[in-house]
Structure formats: C-alpha cells, structure tokens
Amino acid sequence: MRKGQMTKEHIIRESAVLFNTKGYTGASLSDIMERCGMRKGGIYNHFENKDEIALAAFDYSFGQIQGLLSEALGSAATSKEKLLAIGQVYIDLIERSSLEGGCPLLNTAVESDDAHPLLKERARQAMTVFIRKLSSILIEGMENEEFNKELSPEEVSSYMIAVIEGGLMLSKLFDDSKYIRSCVRQLTQFIEDQVLSNPVTKS
C-alpha cells in the first residue's frame, strides 16, 4: 500500500471515531488534525472538505458494524439464531463498547438533517442495506418453513430495527444497558410468538 493511501486511511479511521463520538457538528477540523497528528494542508491533500471526510468516515464505521454482524451471523445455524445474534451484537455495542461511540447508523440518523443532505442520504442507504439484510434472513426462514409464511419481511425488519435502535438510544442516554437488553428480550419474545412457524409454547 502506498504512503498516500495509508495516510488517507489513517485520516478516515481516526475521523470515524471522532464523528461517531462527537457527531458531525461537534467534531471540528481542529479535532481531526489533532487526532490524526496532521496539519490542515496534510488533511486537504486527501479530502476536499469536512463533508468528504465525514462521508468516508461513516462508510468506514458502517463497515465495522457490518463486520460485527457478519461474524455473529456466521456462527448461527438457523434463521432464528441469526435474528437473535443480531440483538446480541447491539447489546455488545453498549456493554463491551465493541465500536467506540456506538452505532453509527443511530448516531448519524439522529444528527443528520436538511443541513447535511449528503450524510443523511448515506445513512439512508446504509439503513436500507440493513433492512434488506434482515429481510433476507426472514425470507430464508420462511422458505425453509422455520418462519411464518404470512410475514411481511420488510415490515418485520423495520420493526426490529426500530426496537433495537430505540433501545440503543435509551441505553446511551441513561448510560445503562438495561434498556437495550429489555428491547432485545421483547424482540426474542416477538420472534418466538409471531415469527416462528411453530410458536414456542410456555410450560
């Protein structure tokens, strides 16, 4: 890898942490310079402006989330286990700080607005990827008769993401993982009661 590319990736990697912890508005160019140990000119040799850095940093952070999810899904044997594994990934974001600053999708979606249209669009695209991934797991479960065939994959995916991200937001706000744990527990119950083709019966 060439030195220029290594430097650019260094800027992206360090900026990703800043944007994910301080937000787009809170992370200044001075913060980026200080964290990267570089001068302004060195930063702008690789990026035209702060927006370009933020977009690259978001892509990097989202890639990290995708990596955590892929690892968790890789060890799951059934479609149900895959859905439950996703919940555990988000519990770990809070309890183990597996990604500094938490979920970049949540952070960016909350902060991005009409003042940051490019960042908002990038977050929207990433969320669409997440919804489609969940939908594919649901479709897989429906096809192998593990899940109820009357489900709407997109609706269930959207619901699950809303519950998970809501739990993350509350846990982050109150510095307490009980909220994300409670939401994942409720999702588990939802999966067992309404998603499985043969609902789990309580003894």
DSSP codes, 82-121: HHHHHHHHHHHHHHT-SSTTS-HHHHHHHH--TTSHHHHH
Total residue count of the chain as it appears in this document = 203
pLDDT of residue 1: 62
Q: What is the mean pLDDT of residues 134-162?
A: 97
Task: Indicate whether 166 pLDDT > 90.
Answer: yes
Averaged confidence pLDDT in the chain: 93
The structure's pTM equals 0.89
Could you give the percent of the chain with pLDDT greater than 70?
Answer: 98
How far is the C-alpha of 142 from the C-alpha of 113, rounded, in Å?
A: 36
Residue-wise pLDDT tens digits, 64-99: 999 999 999 999 999 999 999 999 999 999 999 888
Domains in the chain and their CATH numbers? 54-195 (1.10.357.10)
CA of 198: how far to CAs of 120, 137, 190, 194, in Å? 40, 17, 13, 9
Diameter of the chain by CA atoms? 67
